Amino acid sequence: MDVFLWEQHCCLPLRPTARVADLARYPLGSYLSVNVGYSGERKADSLALLRQFRGEALVDPRFRLVDGIADIGAPEVIGLAFDLEDSAPLDGDLDNVAMFYDLGVRSLLPTYNHANEAGCGCLDTVDTGLSGYGKDLVRKLNEVGMFADGSHCSRRTGLDISTHTSVPMIYSHSNFAALHEHPRNIDDEQARACAATGGVIGINGVGIFLGCNEPDARSERLAAMADHIRYGVDLVGIDHIGIGSDYSFDGQQFNDEIRDNPGAFSDAYTKWGPLQWTPPEDLLGESDVPGLGELLAARGFTAAEREAVFGGNFARVASQVWRA
């Protein structure tokens, strides 16, 4: 891997058994945003995970907790910050945004798949977009300096984020519906609206969102990621596409939850069999399949363009959004 990697979303198990050391599968020099809660967690749950993950990172010399942009990119460490995949861990109190920011959370999305008090999710059949509380949430995220993230949100909620944000928004880990129709993927209007804010769309490596979820389809998933990157660059420009692979170190836990609680996910998740992910080793060309960088080069991406996609674009918008 010869470029800086900004991984805008990956997942450890949301359990005390999780180990930050597992993140060392990413190369030194990377930046990782690690999930610490979604719709199933409340404030106390996410705080417990943050305390655990931060404590482990502080005593492991391979990791550096990220406060600002200056903490990212040192070749001897992995920069580590956190994200929330739903507004539920705020417990309805917008003042908690600043509290989570101070603990290293740098990205938050209002809704995870289904409607809550902030707005609608991508699996809802009725889409009313952001609520009044959700609009206040976007303004608070802007004020504090945290990314407003449209992944997992409904189409209208994502468009409303782009309308109400005063700084670049992101889709941390979302692919394009034009290439594979799935309710988790975004349409061209959402992508253009995100780019119009100055934002970035992170392409993920999840099989059901790429249209190749077979266990042995590792190369196909990487090729599909490259196709989504090529499509996104052609649609909104090289400055607005990045990586948010959504790799789940908690894959078995997540598949068990989908199996045991199918109503929380719908057949858009359950009908494909156990979910498959693109691991860091495949993504970075450190295994027996061609890596994403090699596939992008074959699709005509220059070295500078690959650097922008792998890290430069998200780094740029973080410098514009995060509080100094």
pLDDT one-digit tens code per residue, 171-198: 999 999 999 999 999 999 999 999 999 9
- Residue 262: pLDDT above 80? no
Compute the average pLDDT of residues 126-131.
98
Helices (H), the chain: 43-58, 96-102, 132-144, 155-164, 188-196, 207-210, 218-236, 251-260, 267-270, 280-283, 292-298, 303-307, 313-321
Cα–Cα distance, 278 to 286 (Å, whole number): 12
Q: Specify the pLDDT at position 105.
A: 98
pTM of this structure? 0.97
Predicted confidence (pLDDT) per residue in 15-52, tens digit: 999 999 999 999 999 999 999 999 999 999 999 999 99
What percentage of residues in the chain have a pLDDT greater than 90?
92
* pLDDT in the model for residue 211: 97
CB atoms within 10 A of CB 28: 12
CA dist 247 → 23, 32, 205, 317 (Å):
11, 11, 7, 22
pLDDT in the model for residue 137: 98
Q: Which of 165, 167, 191 lies closest to 318, judged by CA?
A: 167
What residues pair up with 116 in beta bridges, in sequence order?
A: 119
Crossing angle of helices 155-164 and 188-196, in 10° steps, is 20
pLDDT over 90 (residue 120)? yes
Distance CA 73, CA 82 (A): 16
Q: Specify the CATH superfamily of domain 6-321.
A: Metal-dependent hydrolases (3.20.20.140)
**Domain assignments of the chain as residue spans, ordered by start:** 6-321
Calpha distance 208→222 (Å, rounded): 13
In DSSP notation, 222-278 reads HHHHHHHHHHHHHHH-GGGEEE---EETTHHHHHHHHHH-GGGT-HHHHTT-S----
pLDDT (0 to 100) of residue 259: 87
- Residue whose token pair is 């990782």: 32
- For the residues 115-144, what does the mean pLDDT come to? 98
At residue 2, the pLDDT reads 64
> pLDDT band at residue 260, thresholds of 50, 70 and 90?
confident
Tell me, what's the pLDDT at 318? Answer: 98
Residue 311 gets which letter from DSSP? I
Of residues 95 and 256, more confidence is placed in 95
